[in-house]
Amino acid sequence: MATGRVMRFGQAILGSSNTLIYTCPSSRTAILRDLAVCNNDSGARTYSLHFVKTGESVADANAVVKTRSIASKVTDAYRFNLPMVTGDKVYAVADVGALLSLQASGTEYEGTLAPFVPTRLVQAVCTGSSVTVYTVPANTRAIIKDLLICNLGGATPTFTIDLVPSGGSVSSTTKWYNAYALTANQHLHLRVSAVLEAGDTIRILASTTSAVAINIHGAEWAVA
């Protein structure tokens, strides 16, 4: 049985190089719940957020917000449901150092979380072809809780996500998002409850290769 404690994950002034906000400790599972970025400057600034798997580095695939503009004296508040395991990290970076402050909070758990196992289901950069990025394991059911889409540049690409039943193929019936347009440096964050059965797949594509990053978080649990 897991025991959890609600706590502040980080409180930082962002630098102009990647600033480490939080690392999930050894033998713990964490859920990042709330994150806020405050612009203390008299002018608009930009920042990026990255959720990085253990053993990996900051990259486009783990960007959830890329070069987002924030107006003077404005706070961007996020409500995540991001599962993290030992060694996973949260990074942030600003265009100019010492002008943006960040607050992050969540829950750390010690022990086994059951029957639901929080997990990052997808972390990928879209290509121009429909690619399977997640398959629900045998004897398992999965639920998507957070959908994070990030435009990595200044153009206006589109992305498509298909939720394909086991043994099925991409069709108009499987569309979750179909050619959804993202304006320059836009991000999309939705909290959902989409259930997938064993063998179901998630497939993604974009109109422009390497223009869109997709991160999907949720949980898996064993079924008879």
How many CB atoms lie under 10 A from the CB of residue 86?
13
Fold topology of 117-222: Jelly Rolls (2.60.120)
More confident residue, 117 or 45: 45
pLDDT of residue 107: 96
Same fold, 3-110 and 117-222: yes
Q: Does 1 have pLDDT greater than 70?
A: no
Give 158-174 pLDDT, tens digit per residue.
999 999 999 999 999 99
Q: Say what the pLDDT of residue 133 is.
A: 98
What pTM value is reported for the model? Answer: 0.92
Residue 62 in tokens: 């783990």
* 209 half-sphere exposure, CB direction, 13 A CA radius: 4
Distances 191 to 26, 67, 136, 144 between C-alpha atoms, Å: 28, 22, 20, 8
Q: Is the peptide bond before 83 cis (omega within 30 degrees of 0)?
A: no
Distance, CA of 95 to CA of 211 (rounded, Å): 20
**CATH, range 3-110:** 2.60.120.220
Going by C-alpha positions, the residue among 177, 163, 190 that lies closest to residue 64 is 190
Characterize 4-14 residue by residue with b for buried, 16 or more Cβ atoms within 10 angstroms of its Cβ, and e for exposed. Answer: beeeebbeeeb
Cα 113 from Cα 62, distance rounded (Å): 24
Q: Kindly report which listed range (12-21, 78-87, 98-107) carries the lowest average pLDDT score.
A: 78-87
Q: Sketch the domain layout of the chain as residue ranges.
A: 3-110, 117-222
